[in-house]
Structures are given as structure tokens and as C-alpha cells.
Structure 1
């Protein structure tokens, strides 16, 4: 009941916005040149009052960080709606003006993503991640010529986390399951909307009213850019248009001569003059400075010479951040470690988490029992830990090794190339969840203490069995 009430309130807000746009002094920014709301703006309002409103209402039922995130998303869609309204009544502006118009949407996207990063210890982190991974889809307004496929790509990026929400709450709370369905439907409806109204990019108004009489003038950067008269198109080349001031006969004669030359085929090159080597500027530098040359000839970059010292400030120094290994609240932060082979975290507690970020060629050992461990954007990283009661996540990494000494229920590998997981005898029942990753191997201990290496499938086969799709892993030959 609460969800239906919140959805109704959202639809009323959209309706009021439409009335204000039409009844405003100049038709409002949302109006087209005639004062009425454009068709593609109305269609976008249907998305806001439909799946977006349902997502916001269910987020309010869940509460906490999910509700705060939904409020940010609501503002993001509102900012995009304002941009669409502007586009419906203005011609496409210059790139600098367009960048300024896109700023509200861009800032809203950044705010949504920053909230997730600031709340990595949230119990609803999977909800926040699903939204954060897919919210860049609102950037479709700057994508051309295929904004629809871009939205689909961002929607797929959230699938990893929405599946985890479904897994965690499928048997516990139906509200979270409905929340996933409502949120995913936003991007599905947006793709249909783009396909119908903005197939190759954001649609702008084709006409602009040139006001000469009294009345309110359009304001804002788009108005200033849109009312400027377009520059006159360049005329045809003199060879095709005839002599200046001549009639159509001269142009027709030139065109006939052009087509006659083209019809010669390979004989067209007979009239070309052979240029000897002593007349070629690239072989005779002295010719380059002669008068009458239209433009200087580029000589290209000179080969590097060890005898010539390079200027001290020729290349900008790479910015390096200081390494971090500290406990901040309940989170152990391990950041920017380079070549650190003996990193150890001890004296841990069950409620604590470990977050390793941008560590290269380093090893980290976590002693004791801890809540969760996340390895993000690391290269050639080694992780050894005792017990984790939650999950170990490997995200955006390359060439990492994870060794379990005790127990772990779930290991997640996402957007990672090269990951070796060494399981202990007590952790053989753990689940390994992977998505958008390659070169993954699970190493299982034998009785003699050695490990057997088993690859995680990366190639799948899907068939229709008459009632549903059936997907099975396939082995790559070779």
C-alpha cells in the first residue's frame, strides 16, 4: 500500500510539472516552440512516473542507504528531464554550451557513485553497487550514434549485483526482489524510449523562433546559441560553378568536361607530368624555402639521439599517492602499496572488513576471523587469510592469487583477468561466483599436500529446450 501511495505521489508531481510548464509565462523551458510539451518529453515523464516512481517507493520501504541512494537517483532523472525539455525547444548548441548543459546530469551520476564508495561497509552494499554500476547509463544523452546499446551495456554491468540481491533475499523478503525488478525495468524502458525518440543520439529541435516583436525572450546559454543565424554554406568550387557572374551554361560545360575526364578511365593519367628526383621537395630541402610554396613541408619527428639531452620538464611526472595501511573505524585500508611483500593485518575482530585498493606486486596476510575482504584494482597481488564469515571479492584486478587457510563461504571474481584461488580442506564447499572475468583457476588440495589446478569455465552454450533456455559450460578445445 505504501509503495502504491508513493508511486501516486510521484505521478502527481510529474503532472504538476507538466501544468507549470504549459502555463508558465513563456511556456516554460519544458515547452517546445509552440508552448506545448514535446512528445519525447512526455514519454520520458512516463518513465519517471512509472518504473522510476516504483523503484523510489520500494527503496523507501527498504529504507537506510537504499532510500538515500534512491533520492539521488530521483534527482538525477529530474536533471535529465530538464535537459530533454531544453533540447525540445532549442537547436543543438556548440560543444562548450552542450558541456555546460550536461553538467547537472554528470554531477548527479558522480554523487550516486561517490555514495556507494563512502558506504562500502553498508549491509545493503549490493543494492548500492547495482545502482552505482549502472547509473552511467544516464550519460546516453552524450552518446552517438548508438545510445541504446550503451544503456544496455550499463544495465548488464549491474546484473552481477542484482543477482546477489535476489540470492540473498529471495527466501527472506519479497520487497527486495520487487526492488530489483523495478530497478532493472527502468533501464529496459529507457532503451525502448531511446529506440523510439533518440535512435542515433539526443534529438534537438529543428526550428527556432526568431522573435522580432514584444514578448519574453528565451534565456540561458542554449537560447543564445540557438537563435544565432547559421553561417552561409560555402559555394561550389569555381571549376564546377563556372566563372563568377556567369550563367548556368558555364557550370554545365564544366560539369560535362569533368564527367568526360572521368570516363577516360586509366587514360586519365596520361596528361600528368613526370617529376624527377631533383624536383621533389622531400629529397631537396632547398626547394622548401622557395617563394610560391603554399605551405611548409613537415619533415616529421627526428630520431632520438642519446647525445642530445632531453629537457628536464618534457614529461609530466607520474603522480604517486602515499601507501596506506591503517584501521579506520571498522575498515582496514590497504592502498597504493608498491612491491610490499610483507604486509600483515593482525589483531582482527569479527566485525572488521579489509579493503585493498591499487596495490601492485604486493602480498597481504590477514590473520584471525574477519567479516569480509575486498581486493579492488590490484595487479600481481597475493592475499592469504585465515577465516572470513562473509565474502571475499576480487574486482577489476589482474594476476592475483588468493589462498584460504581456514573457511570461506563465498568468493566473488568480477571484471578480473587472471585469478588463482587456493582452497583449504575446510573451504572446499565454498561458492565461487564469477562474471566478466578470464583466466580463473581453482586449486584444490590433495591428500599428499599438493594442489590440483582446475579452470573455471569462461565459454558457455545456451539452447532452447522447448520451455526455457538451458545454459551449460563448454570446454575450449586446445
Structure 2
């Protein structure tokens, strides 16, 4: 019944997701092939579990999970290699939530873990809806199909594997023999072949499920960097002893030097400013209303944008400041540390996601701005006064939620009394 239930997910919501992905095309279509392959690998593993007893050796379990962990790593690697893609939010939504397939290593409550991964991708699915719902309904259908896939996966796990993966057989499987093919037929993929993971993702693949037998603690292994690994929060990590954590794709050179040459280029309507270090003379001249500025992995830099621009994205930057005239759509901070922005004209929306330390200097014309924050800390809005000074206001980071008599949730801001 477990195998049949999982096959229903593949033939239902997942197939719908794959079909809409092919209609959208491009990177979304290619990414969906890898997602199909990940679910196929998990189906083969569930087939094995339905015929075997749990391996006594945890290393054997890792061998059986390797096909799934390999393709999860390839899915996330694909996102990292396509950061300039038009569909980057689509790729991010999948990459942030695909670790839901790691529920097989979680106990005693794997179903909530699936929901947690589904929620992790919601930030990006909301962006997809915001950017595309008025342009192309297929993207709305794409979001619905993917969210439905993970919702059905959560229900499946809750029904068939409530307290953890159930091994139904009596004979332990041999680690030297690959899992048997599933007895239930898979629907044909929308495209001919599944793309194999790239060779440079080998380190990511080998590390992804390296501690697969930690039970519920697997959640920490599927996140990129925890607070105790961040040197800006733990200065002691810089002073001998343990070396700071370096995740996949982090700068390998000493002194935080970028591992790629700096980029400052205009590619059509997009300005790309990447891997710049200690450069305070970066200026985007004569920006136009249909232009987009994308900053990636800049450290200790100052960027000035002259002219009215459509939007600005600051991604994985540290100790970097950006100064702008006016923005038509939004300014977005993602995975940043110690960043600042100043706007002289208008900006309708500022988005701050997974960022520690963000100072926002507003103008009189931008006081109607909407600020959306998620998983961020140390954020301050500086509001101008008539005398030319600024009033600094912190953005709340702590909330209290209670249950009302009507069985709904009420959430309020918890003020820091200092």
C-alpha cells in the first residue's frame, strides 16, 4: 500500500507539475526532469523497504539512499549554476523544498518535516505568483501543482509512515545489490532523458546525507549555514581553533577572496555586478526604467545607481552598501550580511530574506514603502525628519502567538524592552 500510495503522487500532482514545467520550458523544464528522477529514486527505495527489513548497518542504509541524495544535490546545484535565470525563483522554490524527500531518515515524526520543507519553499513560490500571475496563468498552475505534490507527500507519510519509515520485509537487503525496479509503472517523463548530475557536484552529493542516521536532527544537515557556523555572530571562530564553516560553493581562497573574477557588465536589460571585493567606485550610469541590477557575492563594496530603475536584487553580499535614485518595483536582499541601502526617490517594496544586519535609509518620497521580511535579524529602518536627521526604528524579529477561543491563531509583536 505504501508503494501504491507513493505512485499515486507521482502519477497525479507530480505529473501535473512536470507537464506545466514543460509548457513553461527553459530552465524550469530542465529542472523538472531532475525532480522526476528524485521521486523515481525514492519510489525504488520504498519498493526495497516494502520487501526487506531495516539494515542493521547504518552505512548500508546510506548506500540505498544514495540515488535519492545524489539527485537532490544535483537539483540544488542546478539552481546555484543558474542564478541569472529568468526563472530563478522557480528553481529556488524547488531547491529549498526538495529536501522533503529526506523524510525517510526522520523519526519519530517525519510528516511535520515534510511540511517544514514545503514551507521553506513558500517564500519563492509567493514570488513566482507575484511576478507571473498577471502575465501567464501557467506559472500559477505550476505553483499549485508543486505545493499539491508536497501536501500529498505529507499526507502519504502521515498515513503510511507515521513514526518513521516502515520496513515491511523479513530479510535484510544486501548493500552490494541496487534496489529493485518498482513494480508499479511510472508515467513516461515529458522529455526523453533525465540529465545526470554534473561532475562538480560530487562533493555536495557525498556530504548531503553523510549523517543520515541522526533521526530528527537531519533538519540541521539540510540547511545551508546555522547561526553557530557564522563568523560574524561568533568572532571566536576567527581566532584560531575551529576553522569557519565553508559550504558548497563558498569562497575557497584565503581572506575571503572570491573564487571567480569580478564582473561588472550590462547584459541586455540586466546589470550584473558579481564577485567584487573592496570596490567603492561601482556606478551604474543612465539606468533605465526597464533595467534590473543584480548583485551577487560582493564584499565591502559601494554601488551607486543613477537613474530610475525597475528592480534591484542583492544576493549573498557582505558589508556592501547600495545607493539609488528611484526604483519602480522592488529592492530585494537575499542571504546577505551587514548591508545598507539608501534611496533618494521612491521605492514601493523592500524585501529582506535570510539576512543578518540590514540598514535601510528612506527618503521623504518613500515613506509609503512596504517592507517584507523573512528569517532575518538586526534590521533597522531610518526615517528622515524635516531637519535632515534620521529616526532609527528596528524591525521586529520576535513574535508571540496564542490560540483564540475560536481556535484561530493570534500573533502579536513582542517588543524588546532592552
1:466–1:147 Cα change, 3 Å: closer
Say yes or no: does 1:326 pair with 2:264: yes
CA RMSD in angstroms comes to 3.5
TM-score (ref. length: structure 2): 0.69
SS state at 2:371 partner? strand
Q: What is the CA–CA distance in structure 2 between the aligned matches of 1:83 and 1:191, rounded to whole Å?
A: 17
Q: How far is 1:350 from its partner?
A: 4.7
- Asked if structure 1 preserves the Cα contact closer than 8 Å seen for 2:9 and 2:152, the reply is yes
Q: What is the CA–CA distance in structure 1 between the aligned matches of 2:354 and 2:33, rounded to whole Å?
A: 28
- Per the alignment, residue 344 of structure 1 pairs with 283
1:374–1:141 Cα change, 3 Å: same
1:175–1:343 Cα change, 3 Å: closer
Alignment gaps of 5+ in structure 2: 181-239, 241-251
Say yes or no: does 1:422 pair with 2:364: no
1:182–1:467 Cα change, 3 Å: farther
Higher relative contact order (CA closer than 8 Å, sequence separation 6+): 2
- Asked if structure 2 preserves the Cα contact closer than 8 Å seen for 1:116 and 1:132, the reply is yes
- Per the alignment, residue 151 of structure 2 pairs with 188
Q: What is the CA–CA distance in structure 2 between the aligned matches of 1:323 and 1:218, rounded to whole Å?
A: 44
Q: How far is 1:122 from its partner?
A: 4.4
- Per the alignment, residue 69 of structure 2 pairs with 106
- Asked if structure 1 preserves the Cα contact closer than 8 Å seen for 2:381 and 2:392, the reply is yes
1:365–1:102 Cα change, 3 Å: farther
- Per the alignment, residue 160 of structure 1 pairs with 123
Q: What is the CA–CA distance in structure 2 between the aligned matches of 1:57 and 1:163, rounded to whole Å?
A: 20
1:106–1:349 Cα change, 3 Å: farther
Q: What is the CA–CA distance in structure 2 between the aligned matches of 1:204 and 1:333, rounded to whole Å?
A: 50
Say yes or no: does 1:40 pair with 2:7: no
Q: Which moved more, 1:63-72 or 1:462-471?
A: 462-471
- Asked if structure 2 preserves the Cα contact closer than 8 Å seen for 1:325 and 1:332, the reply is no
> Paired residue for 2:40, among 67, 78, 81?
78
- Asked if structure 2 preserves the Cα contact closer than 8 Å seen for 1:119 and 1:125, the reply is yes
Q: Which moved more, 1:171-180 or 1:151-160?
A: 171-180
1:454–1:82 Cα change, 3 Å: same
Corresponding residue pairs, total: 343
Q: How far is 1:78 from its partner?
A: 1.4
Q: How far is 1:392 from its partner?
A: 1.7
1:419–1:218 Cα change, 3 Å: closer
1:357–1:181 Cα change, 3 Å: same
Larger-gyration structure (1/2): 1
TM-score (ref. length: structure 1): 0.62
Q: What is the CA–CA distance in structure 1 between the aligned matches of 2:274 and 2:108, rounded to whole Å?
A: 39
Q: What is the CA–CA distance in structure 1 between the aligned matches of 2:299 and 2:84, rounded to whole Å?
A: 24
Q: What is the CA–CA distance in structure 2 between the aligned matches of 1:159 and 1:209, rounded to whole Å?
A: 39
